[in-house]
Amino acid sequence: MVRAHRALACGVFSIFFGVGCARPTAHYAVETVMTSAYRPASDVGISLQKSIPTGDLILAGDLHCHVGPPDHPLEASRDPAQTVKLAADESLDFVVLTPHVGARFFESEAERGDVLRTRDELRRALAAADTGRTLFVIGMEYTDHQFGHVGASFANLRDVYTDVSAAEAREHPARFFESFVKHGGFLVINHPLSTPLDSSISMARADLSWRPFTKEGWVSEEIAAVNKLAQGLEVYNLVVSHLRDRYLLQDTPRSLLATFARADEEMLNHRRRFVPVGGSDSHVGYLRATTFVRAKEKTETAIRDALLAGRTCVKSAQACSFELRAPGETWKPVGSDLPSTSTVEARAFGAAVEVIVNGVSVAHGEDAETLTIHLGDGCQVVRARVGEGFSAPIYVGCLSL
């Protein structure tokens, strides 16, 4: 068993960190073990829509997916056509493609041009592949090996380039991300707590975490900007949960629960909001629904709007049905704001529910049961675990957050 775990880890780390076993062996190892990764039921969202009075759609998607090209063949073994087929097999409504881009690529005219060219080529390849039911959004994973990784999507990159020239970006690199958000972009801090492990496998000691969270000290201007601007936090990363936490730490929910706890802490202590999202972080032959959104329709704009509004849940769709209300008032979905009140009612559909307030579990109930929750003073960040899924917060008395 130890030998099997080491062989698996060698394959995993050679893909994600760039050294180790031969790449074909690594790809095969990862694909083999990922077949056992958690797979949510594909029809839950449709059945839940019958219980949601607002008429929202619950769409199944993935916010962190690599594809080659633009990713190098040694980093992603799956081409656009294969990615389309996998998305269809997993019944995904949307996938955000996040090929790697280098740190401060926006400061170089040549690198800016390369990123645009490869995105255009990917767009043409997707059009030729007939994407069917799945809506593909072309984003990127900003990859800074010193400070961390950022998923960036939904903004028109040409508009950002027009707004911030290469020369201006060299002088003020934070302005690239400021413009990206201004143009409707969604920034996600990826695998934020994936810190080095004390392991005999050398590359397990690599640091993929978000350093502003995990280390004290100086950070670059653009990373400081992302740390303030990012709207999303990748609380559920399938690779981290299934490979790192399950096989190397024997504690599958470790990073998911720790990242949610960090999100609660950031929101309450630093007066900011984070939208919890998930990503398969797939580089090879697997995909999964990891992020679910309550959207008005299945369009890129509606999905972006749902993400920005915090109408999300991760791992399983049932958690997107979580709702709160002041007694006798209208039910409000995840992402909503409620005025200060000492008591709220909570419910969810499709599975048993655990209600969590400011990071503390306060109540448990059954499918569709209305729970009465007594709240303390001040801002109350209320979220839920519903079955295997975890909801985004509903904010009570947090209008300044």
Quick: pLDDT tens for 170-184. Answer: 999 999 999 999 999
Q: Is the pLDDT of residue 21 over 80?
A: no
Per residue in 32-90, pLDDT (tens digit) is 888 899 999 887 666 777 677 677 999 999 999 999 999 998 889 899 999 999 999 99
Contacts of 134 (CB under 8 A, 6+ apart): 84, 87, 88, 92, 93, 94, 95
Strand partners, 153: 186
Question: Residue 202: pLDDT band by 50, 70, 90 thresholds?
Answer: low
pLDDT of the residue at 23:
52
Enter the pTM of the model: 0.92
266 exposure class (CB count in 10 Å sphere: 0-12, 13-18, 19+): middle
90 φ, ψ (degrees, to nearest 5): -90, 5
pLDDT digit string (tens) for 112-148? 999 999 999 999 999 999 889 999 999 999 999 999 9
Reported as a single tens digit per residue, the pLDDT across 355-383 is 999 999 999 999 999 999 999 999 999 99
Which domains occur in the chain, in start order? 38-318 (3.20.20.140), 322-396 (2.60.40)
- Distance (Å, rounded) from C-alpha 266 to C-alpha 286? 32
Give the integer Cα–Cα distance in Å for 312 and 292: 6
Q: Are 177 and 142 in contact (CB under 8 A)?
A: no
